[in-house]
Amino acid sequence: MEKSIFTRIMEKEIPARVEYEDDQVIVIHDISPKAPVHLLIIPRKPIPTLMDVTDEDLPLIGHIHQVAQKLAQKLELKGFRLVNNCGKEGGQEVFHIHYHFLAGFQE
């Protein structure tokens, strides 16, 4: 199986602007932002789609939500949107789950 662009970023084969990382996730700036703040929260474990998440992965999914909270606090945001596109029909382009963290919209 070919490595996803996200795996290649985590392995430092492709440069990215990293906002945060730990042993479970990496957070990078989206190269085509759709909001003033547009980050991608990417688990290090390569899970193709949200439909492929198992019970074993649930702590990881919870951790992703905690990372979103940390990002909001760090960036002093009043609110944000967390989006996951699941499957081709759901608009997913890279088949390694990731969450779009979007913020900075007008009040």
Catalytic residues, which ones?
98
Strands 37-43, 99-103: pairing is antiparallel
- Among candidate residues 55, 29, 60, the one with its CA nearest the CA of residue 44: 60
Structure tokens belonging to residue 37: 């703040």
CA distance 20 to 49: 22
